């Protein structure tokens, strides 16, 4: 029997969708390929008892997409989504002394993404490489993603990478997978995730909020552009752009306040009661989350590319265009300024007396920010920085080549301690709910969309309840057969 292929596209003029969906029937096998126009997409294959049942299943899939607005098209006539690569420049530091760098890891490409927790350090660069390192500088693992990493963000146990291809990848298990799919008109600049809710700021100054089911919730367009800051908490979303910072209510997006920061916001940080906006006007502004009032100003000598604070708010750190890093007290008094020795810090994070930077030359840098080490550095005494080498045999984890590959192992029965979940049809959508006892049966499970298939059952290592009334998967995903 001849091989039959149906190719559909959904590409709206306003850019809200830019996707393709292809169904191929080859005998009793059906292969579905889907994704963004211009990309290879993800692949999902199924086998049926007869060719007739395969054709019927394919026709049902095509019919569902047509009802959603897809139409037959010719592959290759439309181009891939546009992507803005962040272009930054860096000048030599004007500081008299160099920071006390303990170790440096060169990733090979300009780096924006950083996350540091109690266990390890993460860095992501514009080549799509993500590395994890120990706090002593040992390289532990490497992920290779399809496109440049704009940022890394943690949401409790889960780690996500926002990439130039418009996909937000979950890196919490051995096989990365696309957890959120951003519309083609949203050119990601930065993102934040809280309790599974994704907040995305973009090139045009927009803010888009997507829930744990990868479904659109609300969006707002600011009065500015180039929105490099988005931070979220239980009360609101804090959105920094070329006209300042605007706060919106987390539920529904009602504007709470707007503050003109006197310059374009190039980076944002948050603590419990305040947000910190690094600006192109050589300053970091501390704003009250409650009112938007400017509570303190931290003056630098060049445009501020990044900022961070110590957990108690006692110290505020900043990295500028001229490859310098600063420390201020809470009230805005400058305590020190030192050169990085490896370009401008594009992102930073402080933990346990150390300041971690990712820079324009692609380095992840660990700086000893203790008072003793800084005082010695100001006198010209710094340790010899250790250059970290990547192990040749380091495992490289890549996103699943097909949607079904997310669940790399099939099992006949749930292992002890495993939790069984099932894909069900609900209101025209495929949801995932818990089968095992001891859980709220009405709650949905946040789950990779590519492996949702009505009737399929999976076993996961564990589930974590989220405040929004759903569960999140922890550990590996295995299909029950």
Q: pLDDT, tens digit, for every residue of 263-302?
A: 999 999 999 999 999 999 999 999 999 999 999 999 999 9
H/E stretch holding 468 = none
Mean pLDDT within 309-315: 88
pLDDT of 129 > 90? The answer is: yes
Give which of 374, 361, 358 is closest to 99, Cα–Cα.
Answer: 374
> Given 3-state DSSP classes, what are the helix, strand and coil percentages for the chain, each rounded to the nearest 5?
5, 50, 45
Give which of 104, 135, 90, 109 is closest to 365, Cα–Cα.
Answer: 104
Residues constituting the chain: 481
pLDDT top residue among 332 and 413: 332
Domains, in order of start, for the chain: 4-72 (2.20.140.10), 101-396 (2.130.10.10), 400-480 (no CATH)
Instruction: Return mean pLDDT, the chain.
Output: 88
Name every residue whose Cβ is closer than 8 Å to that of residue 275 and which is 6 or more positions away in sequence. 231, 238, 240, 245, 268, 269, 286, 287, 289
User: Percent of the chain, pLDDT > 90?
Assistant: 57
Mean pLDDT within 66-74: 77
Helices (H), 314-397: 371-378
Mean pLDDT within 438-445: 93
Alpha carbons 6 and 276: distance in angstroms, whole number: 51
Give the lowest-confidence range in 48-62, 213-227, 387-401: 387-401
Beta strands in 302-442 (DSSP E): 304-309, 315-320, 324-329, 334-339, 345-351, 354-359, 363-368, 386-388, 396-397, 409-411, 419-426, 429-434
pLDDT of 137 > 90? The answer is: yes
Instruction: Tell me the range of 29-38, 82-91, 175-184, 220-229 where mean pLDDT is highest.
Output: 220-229
Instruction: Tell me the range of 68-72, 213-217, 283-287, 399-403 where mean pLDDT is highest.
Output: 283-287
Q: How much is the pLDDT for 16?
A: 47
Mean pLDDT within 183-207: 88
Alpha carbons 62 and 421: distance in angstroms, whole number: 27
Q: Which residue has the tokens 């501390």?
A: 286
Alpha carbons 75 and 217: distance in angstroms, whole number: 31
- Specify whether the CB–CB gap between 451 and 473 falls below 8 A: no
pLDDT of 60 > 50? The answer is: yes
The model's pLDDT over 337-348, given as tens digits with 9 standing for 90+, comes to 999 999 999 999
Q: How much is the pLDDT for 166?
A: 83
- pLDDT band of residue 449 (cuts 50, 70, 90) is confident
The model's pLDDT over 347-363, given as tens digits with 9 standing for 90+, comes to 999 999 999 999 999 99
pLDDT of 403 > 50? The answer is: no
pLDDT of 404 > 60? The answer is: no
pLDDT of 405 > 60? The answer is: no
pLDDT of 322 > 90? The answer is: yes
Q: How much is the pLDDT for 349?
A: 97
- pLDDT band of residue 408 (cuts 50, 70, 90) is low
Helices (H), 70-145: none
Query: Any idea what DSSP says for residue 91?
Result: -
pLDDT of 475 > 80? The answer is: yes
Q: How much is the pLDDT for 401?
A: 47
pLDDT top residue among 350 and 60: 350
Q: How much is the pLDDT for 46?
A: 84
Burial code of 355-367, b = ≥16 C-beta within 10 A, e = fewer?
bbbbbbbbbbbbb
Q: How much is the pLDDT for 136?
A: 95
- pLDDT band of residue 409 (cuts 50, 70, 90) is low
Q: How much is the pLDDT for 14?
A: 44
- pLDDT band of residue 67 (cuts 50, 70, 90) is confident
pTM above threshold 0.85: no
């Amino acid at each position: 029997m001849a091989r039959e292929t149906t190719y559909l596209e959904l590409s709206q003029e306003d850019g809200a969708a830019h996707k393709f969906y292809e169904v191929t029937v080859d005998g009793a096998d059906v292969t579905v390929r889907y994704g963004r126009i211009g990309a290879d997409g993800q692949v999902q294959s199924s086998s049926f008892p007869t060719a007739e049942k395969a054709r019927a299943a394919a026709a049902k899939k095509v019919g569902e997409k047509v009802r959603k607005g897809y139409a037959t098209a010719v592959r290759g006539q439309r181009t891939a989504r546009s992507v803005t690569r962040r272009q930054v420049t860096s000048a030599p530091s004007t500081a008299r002394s160099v920071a006390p760098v303990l170790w440096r890891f060169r990733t090979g490409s300009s780096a924006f993404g950083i996350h540091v927790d109690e266990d390890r350090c993460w860095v992501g660069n514009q080549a799509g490489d993500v590395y994890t390192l120990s706090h002593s500088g040992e390289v532990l693992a490497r992920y290779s993603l399809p496109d440049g990493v704009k940022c890394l963000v943690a949401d409790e146990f889960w780690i996500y990478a926002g990439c130039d291809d418009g996909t937000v990848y979950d890196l919490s298990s051995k096989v990365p997978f696309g957890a959120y799919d951003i519309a083609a008109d949203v050119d990601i600049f930065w993102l934040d995730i809280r309790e599974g809710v994704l907040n995305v700021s973009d090139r045009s100054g927009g803010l888009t909020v997507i829930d744990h089911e990868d479904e659109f919730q609300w969006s707002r367009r600011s009065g500015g552009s180039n929105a490099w800051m988005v931070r979220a908490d239980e009360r609101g979303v804090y959105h920094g752009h070329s006209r300042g910072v605007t706060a919106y209510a987390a539920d529904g997006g009602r504007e709470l306040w707007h503050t003109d920061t006197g310059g374009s916001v190039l980076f944002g940080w948050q603590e419990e009661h305040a947000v910190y906006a690094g600006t192109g006007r050589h300053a970091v502004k501390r704003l009250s989350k409650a009112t938007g009032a400017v509570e303190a100003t931290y003056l630098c000598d060049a445009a501020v590319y990044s900022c961070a604070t110590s957990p108690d708010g006692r110290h505020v750190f900043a990295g500028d265009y001229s490859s310098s890093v600063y420390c201020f007290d809470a009230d805005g008094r400058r305590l020190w300024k030192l050169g990085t020795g490896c370009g401008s810090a594009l992102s930073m994070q402080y933990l346990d007396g150390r300041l971690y930077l990712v820079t324009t030359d692609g380095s992840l840098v660990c700086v000893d920010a203790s008072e003793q080490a800084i005082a010695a550095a100001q006198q010209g005494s710094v340790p010899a920085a250790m250059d970290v080498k990547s192990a040749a045999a380091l495992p490289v984890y890549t996103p699943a080549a097909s949607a079904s590959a997310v669940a790399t192992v099939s099992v006949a029965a749930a292992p002890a301690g495993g939790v069984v979940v099932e894909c069900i049809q609900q209101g025209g959508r495929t949801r995932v709910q818990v089968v095992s006892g001891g859980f709220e049966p009405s709650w949905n499970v946040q789950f990779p969309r590519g492996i949702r298939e009505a009737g399929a059952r999976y076993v996961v290592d564990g589930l974590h309840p989220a405040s929004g009334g759903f569960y999140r998967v922890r550990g590996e995903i295995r299909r029950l057969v």
